[in-house]
């Protein structure tokens, strides 16, 4: 548990907790920047067009991280009626979050291969794995995860709307039981290329 780590190793807690907060913040910021780029002013009007992770933290999600090692950020706001092609653009906005985490993992991997300090390599290795796992988990096509919005691109308009209405965080509880079986094999495959 994250709280026990705080007392056992404060430095490790700062790295782990800080890494999670930064990864989630960047993920949500990417959604907001993409929505703004595609013509929706909603994130900008709500002060979410920023890389400051504090703007993207959900209080309950942050507490959950401390108590269970799993949490979530504040959902990125966007209005599909402001988009030129709501179905396509919603999928692009959803994809921006996981892509941002994958890009961070790749950049950290490049840095990893250019350093030799074991302590720093350990931190970078953790952050790379964290970002890859976060990206893969969010691509699972179950509401309210990003994958469900990307899946909507391949469904009829009515089916996509009906599917998205099942946007309940409680759906994630049973998913968490099987998520490691989904995420781990894909993550391991990708990490073979990013980490020695």
By annotation, the residues acting in catalysis are: 28
Q: What crossing angle do the helices spanning 86-112 and 118-138 adopt, rounded to 10°?
A: 160
Across-strand partners of 57?
73
Reference 70, options 147, 135, 134; nearest CA is: 134
The pair of structure tokens assigned to 49 is 């067009």
Quote the CA–CA distance of 82 and 37 in Å, as a whole number.
11
Question: Tokens 């308009």 — which residue?
Answer: 157
């Amino acid at each position: 548990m994250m709280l026990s780590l705080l007392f056992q190793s404060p430095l490790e807690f700062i790295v782990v907790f800080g890494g999670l907060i930064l990864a989630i913040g960047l993920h949500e910021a990417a959604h907001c920047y993409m929505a703004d780029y595609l013509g929706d002013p909603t994130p900008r009007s709500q002060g979410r067009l920023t890389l400051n992770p504090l703007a993207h933290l959900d209080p309950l999600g942050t507490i959950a991280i401390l108590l269970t090692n799993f949490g979530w950020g504040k959902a990125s706001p966007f209005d599909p009626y402001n988009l030129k092609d709501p179905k396509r653009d919603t999928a692009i906005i959803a994809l921006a979050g996981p892509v941002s985490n994958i890009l961070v993992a790749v950049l950290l991997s490049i840095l990893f291969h250019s350093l030799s300090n074991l302590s720093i390599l350990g931190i970078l290795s953790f952050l790379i794995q964290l970002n890859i796992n976060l990206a893969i988990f969010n691509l699972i096509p179950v509401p309210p995860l990003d994958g469900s919005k990307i899946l909507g691109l391949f469904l009829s308009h009515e089916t996509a709307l009906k599917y998205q209405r099942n946007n309940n965080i409680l759906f994630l509880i049973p998913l968490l039981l099987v998520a490691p079986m989904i995420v781990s094999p894909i993550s391991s495959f990708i990490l073979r290329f990013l980490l020695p």
